Amino acid sequence: MQRIFTNLGSSFRFWAVLMAAMAIVACGSDGSDSSRNSNQQDGRLIVVTTVSPITSIVENIGGSKISLEGVVPEGVNSHTFEPTPSMAKLMAQADLIIINGLFLEELTLALAESNKRSDAVILSLGEQAVTPEQWRFDFTFPESGGHPNPHLWPDPNLGLSYAELVHDQLVALDPQNEAYFTENLSRFRERVAQMDKAIRIAVATVPEQNRKLLTYHDSWAYFAEQYGMEVIGAVQPSNFSQPSVREVAELIDQVNDLGLPAVFGSEVFSSDVLEAIASEANVAFVDDLADDDLPGKPGDLEHTYLGLMQNNLAAMIPALGGDASAVMALNIENVFDGESEAIYPQ
């Protein structure tokens, strides 16, 4: 595989995070216990999450027994998202703050660490779901930068690992509801097993020479490794700039040489460059993959983590010449009883 992009210096990123966090703290809450909101009075844990797939996974385990709010709006680039001063108060109210980790939400993490109560817990999922030996480095996340690809959840097996970590932390903080959390995890585990099987069936229908992905943003490293596919390139450099003319030309040649039927854009990471590559190579351009923008709207049946997976496979598999019907037949609704009460910022 060819590596064509560079990485920003880690020291620059550190100081940017630190300065932003200090500015936000200056405008935000004092972090005292008196800032807890009314949800604390009904006995439920107050849980704050970052990107919407994680919010959905947490909601499926915590259900109605937690008060849950995400902070990263759907359809926003989570790598460059800058938290607002009002989020400092939210962090100060939380019993549990759950992030993806692996350097995905550095500004939000800095805000949480500066404003959380002394007894609040920050759960960073990625560092516990995979070991450093399992980290994936690639086009958007080169090894020279030291930051691995943080997009673990497109592999539903790692999404289940997230759910298990969430379950364990919720039980530790709220042991009275252990049976409820465990039942939800059991249901979620069964749904993930069905999704995993269906994805394998769907990928097997794709001609072997087509099991390759050229995307705008590289969110599929762990998914591809799990399901026998290959990410051959990503258009977006690690510093989120536009690729050079030479890099674009190399990607066009690569698509032509491999005879790929489609290249993939994103609802979040729109790319005129990728569309031009598709046009020049005379292949289909599919621009509705998403890594952290759930389908539909909050409250819709498909507005779930498993709905996100189903929606992505419905776009990816047919474009590569396969059949996604096994995935489309799955139940992707929330596993807990009752309507969603979580807040998914839009």
pLDDT of residue 238: 57
d(CA 231, CA 224): 7
Tens-digit pLDDT string for the chain (346 aa)? 433 333 334 444 444 444 444 444 444 444 333 333 445 558 899 999 999 999 999 999 999 999 999 999 998 888 888 998 889 999 999 999 999 999 999 999 999 999 999 999 999 999 999 999 999 998 778 898 899 999 999 999 999 999 999 999 999 999 999 999 999 999 999 999 999 999 999 999 999 999 999 887 788 999 999 999 999 887 765 555 666 777 778 878 888 888 889 998 876 555 677 788 888 889 999 988 888 899 999 999 999 999 999 999 999 999 999 999 999 999 999 999 999 999 999 9
Residue 5 lies in a domain: no
Residue 344 lies in a domain: no
Structural domains of the chain, count: 2
Residue 337 lies in a domain: no
Same domain, 38 and 142: yes
Cβ count within 10 A of residue 132: 7
pLDDT of residue 267: 63
Picking from 165, 194, 223, the residue at the C-terminal end of a domain is 194
Residue 2 lies in a domain: no
Same domain, 16 and 69: yes
Residue 52 lies in a domain: yes
Residue 335 lies in a domain: no
Q: Which domain holds residue 81?
A: 10-194
- DSSP H or E run through 317: helix 305-319
Residue 189 lies in a domain: yes
Same domain, 41 and 123: yes
Same domain, 237 and 171: no
pLDDT of residue 255: 84
Same domain, 162 and 305: no
Same domain, 216 and 322: yes
Same domain, 225 and 315: yes
Q: In what order do the strands lie in the sheet with 45-49?
A: 66-70, 45-49, 96-99, 121-124
pLDDT of residue 41: 57
Specify the CATH number for the domain of residue 134.
3.40.50.1980
CA angle 82, 83, 86 (to 5 degrees): 150
Picking from 140, 169, 194, the residue at the C-terminal end of a domain is 194
- DSSP H or E run through 187: helix 178-204
pLDDT of residue 3: 36
Same domain, 25 and 43: yes
Residue 333 lies in a domain: no
Same domain, 178 and 282: no
pLDDT of residue 14: 42
pLDDT of residue 237: 56
pLDDT of residue 276: 84
d(CA 94, CA 215): 36
